[in-house]
Amino acid sequence: MKNYQTYKLILIILFSGLSSFSTYGQKIRHNINITKASDLHKFFQYTGKDRTIIAGHRGGMVSGFPENSIATFENTLKHTPAFFEIDPRLTKDSVIVLMHDATLDRTTTGKGQLADYTFEELKDIRLKDAEGHVTDFPIPTLAEVIEWARGKTILNLDHKDVPLDMTAKLIREHKADAFVMVTVHSPEEAQHYLKDNKDRMFSAFIKTKEAFKEYENAQIPFTQMIAYIGPLVKPENKELYALLNKKGTMCMISAASSYDKLKSKEERKVAYRQIVEDGASILESDYPIEAAEAIHDMLNIESPKRKFFGKASGR
């Protein structure tokens, strides 16, 4: 009888271990391992042997996970390595928080203009997911998100209402130049950031040959940028790929305002694959997990860039 009880206990432990193993994959976090600014430049340098990089627009949009939240970033990284385009905005008392809209109504339980609230007044407000369901997640500060991202991923800060000097100062204070980049809409904005830090990394709007020439004439280093060339696969992209890739610059197509709107997962899969086939090095999407799955068999797993990708235990 004693032997039977011992045997039963062993079986329970074994099955418990198997159960834990079956959910272990959900606890693994995919990391992008960047430790210095020069690594960031190399990670985004076009070489022709690159692995397509996934960018989560506002972190991603999955049921139960609100945009621009640490919970969403963590969830995305459970499934795929990615970097995140996020949206800093200012509160009434000049705290930088993440919020895409100028108003609270769509994405939170609050009402009205974000800029009319102090950060203290925002603490009881909760974020909603893309379907409008209220979650338990609060509005995060950019400082919190930067510290969370350290050693895990890369952040791309969109330009909303935060002054450039304030953005640069926060990055500098957190010593985050190795993993935080900034979106710029003109060479002048890029030059402003470069005066603060010559190693700054950019996501630059370069949708036309004329825009390319403006950045070239302003001597903005193409080895310190990725180029957002638009939301669509179209013949004009070929010229931009040729010009920018020759400079060592990766090109990004964002499906957020275009192909992410397609109704079925299968339609979106076809579109995501077309973006890669078109020549884009970076695919940005509201659905980064889905996009990564769609192009998984197209990834160059032998790329020298694989040294930047890793895995670690998540939350």
Report the mean per-residue pLDDT for the chain.
Answer: 92
pLDDT digits (tens, 9 = 90+) for 30-41: 999 999 999 999
Cα separation, 105 vs 128, whole angstroms: 9
Residue 23 lies in a domain: no
127 lies in some domain? yes
User: How many other C-beta atoms lie within 10 A of the C-beta of residue 262?
Assistant: 15
Inside any domain, residue 24: no
Count of domains observed in the chain? 1
Q: Check whether 26 has a pLDDT greater than 60.
A: no
**Looking at the domain assignment, is residue 9 inside a domain?**
no
Contact 68, 58 (CB under 8 A): yes
Q: Which domain range does residue 197 map to?
A: 29-313
Whether residue 6 is contained in a domain is answered as: no
Q: Where are the alpha helices (DSSP H) in the chain?
A: 2-27, 37-43, 70-77, 119-122, 142-149, 164-173, 187-196, 209-217, 237-246, 265-278, 288-294
**CATH of residue 159:** 3.20.20.190
Instruction: For 238-255, write each residue's pLDDT tens digit.
Output: 999 999 999 999 999 999
* 0.75 exceeded by pTM: yes
Burial of residue 167 (number of CB atoms within 10 Å: 0-12, 13-18, 19+):
buried
Residue 18 included in any domain? no
Closest by CA to 128, choosing from 158, 91, 156, 100, is 100
User: In which band, very low, low, confident or very high, does the pLDDT at 314 lie, cut at 50, 70 and 90?
Assistant: low
Q: What are phi and psi of 203, to 5 degrees?
A: -110, 105
Cα–Cα distance for residue pair 98/14, rounded to 1 Å = 44
Examine residue 14 and state whether it is found in any structural domain, yes or no. no
Per the listing, tokens 């979650």 go with: 135
In a domain, 87, yes or no: yes
CB-side neighbour CA atoms (13 Å) of 165: 1
